[in-house]
Amino acid sequence: ASEMFTTFMDGQTNVDIHVLQGEREMVDDCRSLARFKLKVPPLPAGLARIEVKFLIDADGILNVTARDQRTGEERSVEVKPSYGLTDQEVERMLLESFDHAEEDLNLRQLIEAQGEADSALRATEKAFESAAAAKLKPDERANIDRAMAELMSARGGKDHRVLRDKLEAFNEATQHFAEVLMNSAVRTALKGKALKDA
């Protein structure tokens, strides 16, 4: 199996790969098998492409490899089945996953929505420092500020549905600002270039 991941923070220089065993949604409810770091170049959040591959061989040895798609940097770890789980432990883990499925899923959805909210708020605060922010009309800026405050308030709550609603409202409030930023970035990139050079 393989899965793609990316970075969360601007300028992040490594990614922590944590290999777990279990049926639950949250890390604390699973069993830690291995952990290692992969170095990545300091890029804006979300640009890195990290592919993590999981391979189990016939002897039950798990090989986990993380590779930066841009640089080719690769790290791997081998997890040997030094201590397995009894049939009773496996059954207990499965039953726990069924018993806590709804609670675990709600918590995971909340954490994912909080991460998206954090990214959106950070990007908007950074965008407010740009020259394009000065082009916002006062009522548009007030609308964005109000949506930011509501999103921050919902971010501290426990209901992922409320947070998703506020995130959607925030995205709507900032849509025109995002267009202004994009147009400004394109104009800057094309400044002084002829159409044939673009």
pTM given for the model: 0.64
- Helices (DSSP H) in 5-137: which residue ranges? 87-99, 101-127
Paired tokens of 84: 């397995």
What is the band of 198 on the pLDDT scale with cuts at 50, 70, 90? very low
What is the band of 141 on the pLDDT scale with cuts at 50, 70, 90? very high
Higher pLDDT, 133 or 67: 67
What percentage of residues in the chain have a pLDDT greater than 70? Answer: 94
Q: Express each pLDDT in 145-169 by its tens digit.
A: 999 999 999 999 999 999 999 999 9
Rounded to the nearest integer, the mean pLDDT of the chain is: 87
C-alpha distances (whole Å) from 41 to each of 3, 76, 123, 133 are 20, 18, 20, 29
Q: Are strands 74-79 and 31-43 parallel, antiparallel or unpaired?
A: unpaired
Q: What is the rounded CA–CA span in Å between residue 67 and residue 167?
A: 32
- What local confidence, expressed as pLDDT, does residue 192 receive? 64
